[in-house]
């Protein structure tokens, strides 16, 4: 079942239903403590993961989930999923968390959806067919780099020096990258050493690329890996700004 035109619609419908079901499950969560199973995992992560896996297993795809690892990676379509990106935000009542799903095949990312659970905003992309925010097509207009007015989202410690106007740390990479794609901010840079798993950025990477935003790993590695243990350092901006953003990241020494 490669991601052909007949499957794209089914996957998008599936991802939307999953996002709806996760949102409903979150409304019933009363335990926002840590799960005790692994560092940084919340009980709510497992609740949402169960919702997602039930739907994906029924659809017959392989799965790579942050919370429970991988299964059936030999299938023609594998869905990379972060059931609750920004779970620390969610546990503290910070309204910046999402569900991210990305279907990949031998040609790479094919269909992606990021659903912001506190703003009812959804970004999605289809390989070769564009990126959208709430149904509106995204197309970043590149021009000369205007660092004097640029706002860049940062994950991890702030760089000691940088050329942009202001920084923000919001704590949910999937949403943060989509905010670069839709022009809300001008860039995203991970300042921590190899802190992101592929589930943090796969869906958003497709949204960015289809919108005209460049997304790369700071160390030049392939970002798309079906390895639960692999970590990467994503950096994203429109083409005229990505070079200098990478210089800042590489100059940090992290």
Structural domain spans, the chain: 5-138, 147-251
Give the pLDDT score at 120: 87
Task: Enter the pTM of the model.
Answer: 0.96
Give the pLDDT score at 144: 81
Give the SS3 label for residue 113.
Answer: strand
The pair of structure tokens assigned to 20 is 């709806």
Give the pLDDT score at 254: 62
Distance of alpha carbon 214 from alpha carbon 180, whole angstroms: 10
CA distances 40 to 36, 43, 153, Å, are 9, 10, 22
Q: What is the pLDDT along the chain (254 residues), one digit of tens a residue?
A: 678 877 999 999 999 999 999 999 999 999 999 998 989 899 999 999 999 999 999 999 999 999 999 999 999 999 999 999 999 999 999 999 999 999 999 999 999 999 999 998 999 999 999 999 999 999 998 888 899 999 999 999 999 999 999 999 999 999 999 999 999 999 999 999 999 999 999 999 999 999 999 999 999 999 999 999 999 999 999 999 999 999 999 987 66
Q: Which residues face 124 on adjacent strands?
A: 113, 132
Distance of alpha carbon 26 from alpha carbon 41, whole angstroms: 15
Give the pLDDT score at 251: 86
Distance of alpha carbon 162 from alpha carbon 179, whole angstroms: 20
Give the SS3 label for residue 190.
Answer: strand
Give the pLDDT score at 252: 73
Q: Which residues face 214 on adjacent strands?
A: 237
Q: Which residues face 6 on adjacent strands?
A: none
- Give the architecture-level CATH label for domain 147-251: 3-Layer(aba) Sandwich (3.40)
Give phi and psi for 77, each to the nearest 5.
-125, 130
Q: What is the CATH number of domain 5-138?
A: 3.30.540.10
């Amino acid at each position: 079942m490669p991601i052909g035109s007949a499957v794209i619609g089914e996957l998008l419908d599936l991802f939307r239903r999953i996002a709806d079901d996760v949102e409903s499950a979150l409304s019933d969560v009363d335990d926002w403590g840590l799960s005790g199973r692994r560092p940084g995992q919340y009980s709510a992560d497992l609740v949402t993961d169960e919702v997602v896996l039930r739907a994906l297993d029924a659809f017959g795809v392989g799965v790579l989930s942050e919370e429970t690892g991988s299964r059936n990676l030999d299938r023609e379509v594998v869905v990379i999923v972060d059931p609750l990106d920004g779970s620390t935000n969610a546990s503290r009542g910070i309204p910046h968390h999402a569900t991210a799903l990305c279907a990949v095949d031998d040609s790479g990312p094919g269909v992606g959806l990021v659903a912001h659970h506190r703003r009812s905003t959804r970004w999605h992309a289809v390989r070769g067919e564009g990126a959208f925010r709430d149904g509106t097509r995204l197309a970043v207009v590149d021009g000369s780099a205007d660092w004097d007015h640029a706002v860049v989202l940062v994950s991890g410690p702030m760089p000691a020096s940088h050329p942009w106007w202001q920084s923000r740390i919001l704590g949910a990479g999937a949403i943060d990258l989509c905010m670069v794609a839709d022009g809300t901010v001008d860039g995203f840079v991970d300042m921590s050493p190899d802190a992101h798993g592929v589930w943090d950025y796969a869906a958003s990477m497709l949204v960015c690329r289809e919108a005209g935003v460049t997304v790369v790993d700071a160390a030049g590695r392939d970002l798309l890996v079906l390895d639960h243990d692999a970590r990467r350092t994503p950096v994203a901006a429109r083409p005229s700004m990505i070079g200098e953003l990478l210089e800042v990241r590489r100059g940090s020494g992290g």
